[in-house]
Amino acid sequence: MTEVGLLGGGVIGGGWAARFVLNGVDVRIFDPDPEAPRKVGEVIDNARRAFRKLTLAPLPAEGRLTFVPTPEEAAESVEFVQESAPEREDVKRGLLAAASRVAGADVVFASSTSGLLPSRLQADMRHPERMTIGHPFNPVYLLPLVEVCGGERTSPETLERAAEVYRALGMQPLRLDREIDGFVADRLLEALWREALWLVADDVATVEQIDDAIRYGAGLRWSCMGTFLIYRIGGGEAGMRQFMAQFGPALQWPWSKLTDVPELTDELLEKLVAQSDAQAAGRSIRELEQQRDDCLVSVLQALRTQRYGAGALLEEWERRLLRPVEEREPDPTQPLHLHTVRVPPEWIDYNGHLHESRYLQVFNDATDALLRFVGVDADYLAAGASYFTVETHLSHLGQAVAGDSLEVRTQVLGFDAKRLHAFHSLHRTGDDQPLATAEQMYLHVDTSAGRASPARDDVLARVAALAEAHANLSRPERAGRSIGMPARA
């Protein structure tokens, strides 16, 4: 997938833009709001920040984002279209109909609607069989769930294609067999939301007490096991049968007000807004978004250590990012250019320059790229073999600031069955003056046995080819340097 179209660039459309662009897919986006480019830009900035914390795996080069003036131009010549316009059936139907008239018959259209029925949304489309629901969750760039639900005329191929697109973005498509208002996840959220509004309306609890009741308790376990598995455990050794025997009768008690909805009076609205303002305590939406993202990243990373639920999905996405660098013949006249990076603001120290520790991080990322280039990919690592860095000599020669685009050039200086000796130099993209250099020695190890071991033959062959090509390059001036001061006369 190389290019997709987006209709609508608000909270959700912006999140989709971030998810696609950061996964290397070009995006054409239509939104009539003149402020949309700024808003989408801010969502993508948040997403970049979150992805930098989420993973050390090498992200693909970012896709290009282009704003276009009509829905037709967003759908023309793309491979997939995601609609995220306001939740109004007439608006969505009109948009989908217009865009479907220009898109190829095999282009799948997905709607982000939170609960409108696909059979109605596809009604005016050309080739309605290629339309499905693709209902995501905010923030789209971090939460993996997307509900996939077809209408009466949707073809099975469309559902499979949409699921495939979402899986390629590291998401978890949840296929729903029946079309119902609100689908599954929003039905559940709506039930909780109604109860929460009743508790506020009846002055039983404030919005903050309700949020605390979730985030210190059930919210933590929902993130790993949902509801049914947790209740099975809650039933003790006899599982679900015992749980139902113990808590089933409570279903008849007057605990829940779910059959009824609180009237949204001005008084209730004012109360909600005032309590919500007090809870936010002056924090802006952007600040709250970043706090939310940091916490979600922590949860996802913790789940990854357990290889469980959304954490297992994150690990799988990273494995795909760690695929071997495309095999190509090294140009014998040039060092390798395998790693580029743009300096993010949080890498800057109190002097306004790139912090020392980040040089090592950038060189380490270049080493990872070099190792993938010679065939040390996720499967090689899983088989219990790797190269470990055993020595580094880093020289600081210039300074980088936030926003600089940097590239690392890498030259192999030597190798044997167990060792690899490389020299990296860091440059502003296209500038031959180095900002820093790093000379490193890597030792090949059997990670299960915990000791040095010869690299696999195919890896050694690729290292040898590289070393032979690089033997023609002049030896870097700083290679073999040690730290010292000239002796006094």
Ligand X SMILES: NC(=O)c1ccc[n+]([C@@H]2O[C@H](COP(=O)([O-])OP(=O)(O)OC[C@H]3O[C@@H](n4cnc5c(N)ncnc54)[C@H](O)[C@@H]3O)[C@@H](O)[C@H]2O)c1
* Residue ranges in contact with ligand X by CB under 6 A: 7-13, 30-33, 36, 84-87, 91, 95, 112-114, 135-138
Short-list 320, 476, 482, 327, CA closest to 408: 476
CB 42 within 8 A of CB 286: yes
CB closer to ligand X out of 135 and 358: 135
Mind giving me the DSSP string for 364-376?
A: HHHHHHHHHHTT-
Looking at beta carbons only, is 93 or 470 nearer to ligand X?
Answer: 93
Residues whose CB falls within 8 Å of the CB of residue 12, separated by 6 or more in sequence, listed in order: 84, 112, 136, 138, 140
Dist CA 52 CA 37 (whole Å): 22
CB of 12 to ligand X, least distance (A): 3
- Cβ 265 to ligand X, closest distance in Å? 24
Return left, alpha or beta for 216; rule: phi > 0 is left, psi -120 to 50 is alpha, else beta. alpha
Residue nearest ligand X (C-beta atom):
10
Q: Six-digit token pair at 218? A: 């059930």
Q: In the bound complex, what is the minimum distance in angstroms from residue 228's beta carbon to ligand X?
A: 23
The kind and range of the H/E element at 355 are none
d(CA 308, CA 353): 39
Residue closer to ligand X, measured from CB, 221 or 292: 292
**Cβ distance to ligand X smaller for residue 95 or 369:** 95
Write down the least CB distance from residue 10 to ligand X, Å: 2
Residue whose CB is less far from ligand X, 183 or 359: 183
* Smallest separation (angstroms) from ligand X to the CB of 7: 5
Q: Confirm if 147 and 177 have CB atoms less than 8 A apart.
A: no
CB nearer to ligand X: give 73 or 407. Answer: 73
Q: Alpha carbon of 224 to those of 153, 221, 309: distances in Å?
A: 35, 6, 6
Nearer to ligand X, 33 or 106 (CB): 33
Helix ranges (DSSP H) in 169-264: 185-201, 207-213, 219-225, 228-234, 239-247
State the nearest-atom distance from the C-beta of 106 to ligand X, in Å: 23
367-392 burial: b if 16+ Cβ within 10 Å, else e: bbbbbbbbbbbbebeeeebbbebeee
CB of 197 to ligand X, least distance (A): 17
